[in-house]
Structure 1
């Protein structure tokens, strides 16, 4: 049975999800009625031409280009490792999948080192200590990193820790 709002005449399921705050007693009011919400944009052209993200690149000690799309669940960045570069060990609560575009190197996940080259994909589980090394002394390495960080940030549970800085 639906109840009515006496002032507006609206039924409970007509009230927008944004204006209603649910608690555990309201579980039965969860309806499977997805709604398409038009995003602000569907494409980010020439990502690398938009410029490196300076603050994050400085922290990471290698160039990082954010892909600016309105996803609330996944992110994508283009990362680069300079010749012979080794990143700091770090960990985070979100998962990462790297797709190597160019170069060769390794990624250390906890105590396991996996070697990669262009065309390979590498999985980094949540909260695993990891770091990356470019094995070339003359060529850069480049990869796409896809993460579920926005989803966890929106839930308020995304954490990131750099060894030596945050401990």
Structure 2
């Protein structure tokens, strides 16, 4: 099978407690507050573009570095006229368009968007994005439940042209 698995690095896994059936007694009736390492990521775009992911996706991507174990957030950009690769993943995505206009194709259906719109991409739906302007960039915030599925070991991502 050629599907790539997006998982947690071994270093990150070493920091997390791995539970097994013998740890059932550690399930408590009340949640316990665990202070996160940090609650703010200032100047996200100044922290730098994620080069490997940006190159693969063919557009700039900036990860928001916060310690959520369930939700991720990235800032994506599309240059004028830019079209991304078709891809799909087992996690859901909600895009909020900050600037520009374009479309997202979801399972062959094209959805037009512009600044102020939100777009939902269901899990495992083939999709891609295009900026329809010849002169202005487009920018969006993408929120996904990828960390939740990665922590469960069930996050998959498939990129057309790479995995097929």
Band of TM-score, shorter chain: 0.7 to 0.9
- Aligned equivalent of 1:81, options 33, 53, 78: 78
Instruction: After TM superposition, give the deviation of residue 21 of structure 1 in Å.
Output: 2.9
Runs of 4 or more consecutive aligned structure 1 residues displaced over 4 Å after TM superposition: none
Distance 2:71 2:84 in 1: 23
Query: Aligned pairs, how many?
Result: 148
Question: What is the root-mean-square deviation in Å for CA atoms of aligned residues?
Answer: 1.7
For residues 164 and 30 of structure 1, do their structure 2 counterparts lie closer, same or farther at Cα, with a shift above 3 Å needed? same
Distance 2:26 2:36 in 1: 26
Distance 1:19 1:159 in 2: 20
Q: Which runs of 5+ in 1 are unaligned?
A: 1-17
Which structure 2 residues correspond to residues 1-167 of structure 1 after superposition, within 5 A?
Answer: 18=17, 21-22=20-21, 30-167=27-164
- TM-score computed with the length of structure 2 as normaliser: 0.85
Instruction: After TM superposition, give the deviation of residue 20 of structure 1 in Å.
Output: 6.1
Instruction: After TM superposition, give the deviation of residue 55 of structure 1 in Å.
Output: 0.8
Distance 2:19 2:58 in 1: 44
Report which structure shows greater RCO (CA 8 Å, sep ≥6).
2
Instruction: After TM superposition, give the deviation of residue 33 of structure 1 in Å.
Output: 1.4
Q: Which runs of 5+ in 2 are unaligned?
A: 1-16
3-state secondary structure, aligned to 1:48: helix
For residues 59 and 29 of structure 1, do their structure 2 counterparts lie closer, same or farther at Cα, with a shift above 3 Å needed? closer
Larger Rg: 1
For residues 19 and 139 of structure 1, do their structure 2 counterparts lie closer, same or farther at Cα, with a shift above 3 Å needed? closer
3-state secondary structure, aligned to 1:150: helix
Instruction: After TM superposition, give the deviation of residue 119 of structure 1 in Å.
Output: 0.2
Distance 2:26 2:66 in 1: 32
